[in-house]
Structure 1
Amino acid sequence: MSVKMTNERYSHIDLLKFAIECFIRVGVPRDDARLIADHLVSASLRGVDSHGVLRIPDYIDGVERGYVKVNPRPRILKETPISALMDGDRGFGIPIAMKAVELAIAKARSSGMAIIGVKNLGHVGMLAYYTKKLVEENLLGFACANCAAMVAPWGGSERILGTNPISIGIPVPGGNPIIVDMATSAIASAKVLIALKEGKELQPNIALDRDGRPTRDPKAVLEEGTLLPFGGHKGYAISLVVEILSSALIGGPTSKEVPFHESTQGGFLLAALDPLIFRDKDEFEKDVLRVIDIVKNCRLREGFSEILIPGELEDREYELRIRRGIPIDLETVKSLKAVAEKLGVPFPNKIS
């Protein structure tokens, strides 16, 4: 969840303005710059710091290195009433993924369901951002993506699969939605970098060094080491499915073929489902609440104070950070200030 070594807090409004201006300075159209900035700040507000404002320098670097185009021409390659295959023309992943969201909403409204595949695009960021957009339209959402190889398959000792995240969103009447968003690796790759910045060891049994030996050293993982799938062979199975859905199904690259950079992505798959194709709205909502009530009222295990629903912790963190500001570790502040100086963008003042 949150970055622990946090010595400075910043207003989310100030960070949003800063991020927008940074992306405009490297040639990103204003509307796209706003989408990218809103996405990154939203991730930071939800406590998903690994996909938040710390990505700004990496995204800028991706433009400078030619991994990402600032003025792409995305197009639809193939389309049916319930599906579409898009080519992102190597543009920033976030605005292109939002086009997929808009298309999925329109198709699900008219046909009850939609599935959109997108290949040839940059990093799409936090998948929960997209499933949450679908949930806000009273649709069930699913998203997955593959990325540069960083994970060994179960029994393997080299980078073959990406961290290959998945997200599922379910609307909850009168409350915050259920939002599942997780890497299929034991941890997200960006959290290894955060551990390195903080001088912390990784948890045991989640990573290997370049020789295939277990390690807790984040530096050893980043230097040709590998992460392991979550849940052993079960996580590996899910990761492999995500790999196929994000590459073979839509004609995108495998994780091994994706350039290793924080601004890159393999393929992106998004699905939307209108619950009305199965049941009356009131009946569905009543039963969703009933399931949540059953789960919430489970007898607690020793050491626990409550049962949380997926996404609930992030929603609480969001409210807290809206009030108190977004905490950013000093190493990330330093890298953001370096970008600000290079681009001639004023850096926000910290909250006293």
Structure 2
Amino acid sequence: MTDRHDPAELTAFAEALFAAAGLEPGKAAAVATYLVAADLMGHTTHGLGLAAMYLKAIADGTMTAAGDPGTVSDRGAAICWNGRRLPGAWLTSEAVKLAAERAKLHGTATVAIGDSHHNGALATYLTLATDQGLMVSIASSAPSGAHVAPFGGRVGVFSPDPVAHGIPTGGDPILIDISASITTFNMAQRMIREGRLYEHDWLLDRAGNPSRDPKALGEGGSLLTAGGLDHGQKGYGMALQVEALTQGLAGHGRAEAPRALTLATTVQVWDPEAFGGREAFLRQTGWLARACLASPPRPGVAAVRLPGQAGLARRRAALAEGVALHPGILESLAPHAERLGVPLPAARGVTPG
């Protein structure tokens, strides 16, 4: 049996936890909102499973608890912030809001953020723009991490370098959330804790041999780029582009050799009205979405889905029935809740399995 929790109560619990730990109110609310949002969509390695790490970062000062980002430059449609290691969820959500506001004025807007703290699942921020009929892209990299080897190499240079795209269609938006690596560091850490191996060779060991064992990462191994051993040049190219788009535009990254966790994130928003028009845009994207869904599935596949379709369905179900957290997440937060005097949320119900 799996406990289910009311999403609003989980968010209130997380917000109280981060506020008690020292985050300013608006920042505590943003971190709680987007971590729970990740769990609602099924991105469980980037939901409340990150909360314990964030609380430790607040306590040791590697996450800045208060203040505003520094404005490096602002040309209206192009903005650059020094994130000052503030919470990534707050910085990223504020950047999407600002880019959406500016895109309505200029047609498009870009916000580059250097030296941010971690920001979780990029997909959770997309609807801030798509709900307004705007198209959005978010790219993020971690210059403090180097777990992904360049194609043909065996020593890590990159982080997984995720990119997310939100595309309005007139119905549910298309929500794309992919990374330049074939798997992620957080997933590898979870698999190590659970004693599992990958089903395919998605890593390299220290000698550069293919491996399914996530423990290889802690022994000098690396993650493969998307496309794997035979077509990994695709993920390699994506990683190079993401690192330039984020660290390059923000002016802060691997060249500074940061030790503590730090991110660079770039948000871009487009207003279709400034181009061929919003109705014309939706006519094209709506047609594309319908054509994909109507494609006859290959053997063994029930139906073709659009990116984000499953996550949106999970979110609807969780809002109606409660969210089932991945095993061990609340248990990992119990010592922090006791230390900070925040009661754990009660289960709303149970689901078999």
TM-score range, shorter chain: over 0.9
Task: Indicate if the aligned counterparts of 1:149 and 1:255 stay in contact, CA closer than 8 A.
Answer: no
* Residues 139, 163 of structure 2: 8 Å contact kept: yes
Change (3 A) 1:166 1:258: farther
Preserved contact between residue 113 and residue 265 of structure 2 (Cα < 8 Å): yes
Whether 1:239 aligns to 2:245 is no
1:128 aligns with: 123
How high is the TM-score relative to the length of structure 2? Answer: 0.92
Letter in 1 for 2:29: R
Equivalences for residues 173-184 of structure 1 within 5 A: 173=170, 175-184=171-180
Q: Which deviates further from its counterpart, 321-330 or 33-42?
A: 321-330
1:277 and 2:274 correspond: yes
SS class of match (2:83): strand
Cα distance per residue 1:119-148 (max 9 Å; x no partner): 111012111122221111211101101112
Partner of 1:335: 332
Q: 1:9 to 1:267 in 2, by over 3 A?
A: same
Distance in 1 of aligned mates of 2:255 and 2:100 = 28
Count of residues paired in the alignment: 343
**2:55 aligns to what?**
60
Report the secondary structure of 2:250's partner residue: coil
Offset at residue 258 of structure 1 (A): 4.2
2: CA distance, partners of 1:246 / 1:256: 14
| Whole-Å separation in 1 of the counterparts to 2:113 and 2:13 | 29
**Equivalent-residue separation in structure 2 for 1:172 and 1:219 (angstroms):** 42
Q: TM-score, normalised by structure 1?
A: 0.92
Residue 241 of structure 2 is aligned to residue 230 of structure 1:
no
**Partner residue, 2:3:** 8
Q: CA deviation at 1:223?
A: 4.3
CA deviations 1:290-343 (Å, max 9, x no partner) are: 112222221221111111011001011112222332223433232111221222
Residues 1:35 and 2:30 aligned together: yes
How far residue 274 of structure 1 moved from its aligned partner, in angstroms, is 0.9
**Aligned-pair distance for 1:256?**
8.8
Given that 2:169 and 2:289 are in contact with CA atoms closer than 8 Å, whether structure 1 keeps it comes out as: no
- Is structure 2 residue 111 aligned with structure 1 residue 152? no
Give distance in 1, aligned partners of 2:277 and 2:247: 36
1:47 corresponding residue in structure 2:
42
Measured at CA, do residues 277 and 305 of structure 1 come closer, stay the same or move farther in structure 2, by a change above 3 Å? Answer: same
1:1-352 alignment, distance < 5 Å: 7-147=2-142, 148-173=145-170, 175-231=171-227, 232-254=232-254, 257-259=257-259, 264-350=261-347, 351-352=349-350
Cα 1:289–1:73 change in 2 (3 A) is: closer
Q: Counterpart of 1:239 in structure 2: which amino acid?
A: A
Note the alpha carbon deviations across 1:139-175, whole angstroms, 9 max, x for none.
11011011121111101111110000001111121x2
Unaligned segments of structure 2, at least 5 residues: none
How far apart, CA to CA, are the structure 1 residues paired with 2:309 and 2:43? 13
**1:188-246 CA deviation, whole Å, 9 max, x = no partner?**
22111222233221132211223333222222324443111111110111011101111
Structure 1, 160-169 or 64-73: larger mean CA deviation: 64-73
Partners in 2 of 1:38 and 1:73 — Cα distance? 19
Q: Secondary structure, in 3 states, of the residue corresponding to 1:321?
A: helix
**How many percent identity over aligned positions?**
27
**Secondary structure of the equivalent of 1:143?**
strand
- The Cα shift of 1:255 comes to 8.7
Gaps of 5+ in 1: 1-5
Tell me what 1:3 maps to: none
Amino acid at match of 1:211: A
Q: Which secondary structure state, in structure 2, belongs to the residue aligned with residue 248 of structure 1?
A: helix
Deviations 1:77-97 (A, max 9, x none): 111121101111111111122
CA deviation after TM superposition for structure 1 residue 288, in Å: 1.6
DSSP-derived class of the 1:118 partner: strand
Secondary structure of 1:94's counterpart equals helix
Q: What amino acid is the match of 2:87?
A: F
CA distance in 1, matches of 2:220, 2:19: 34
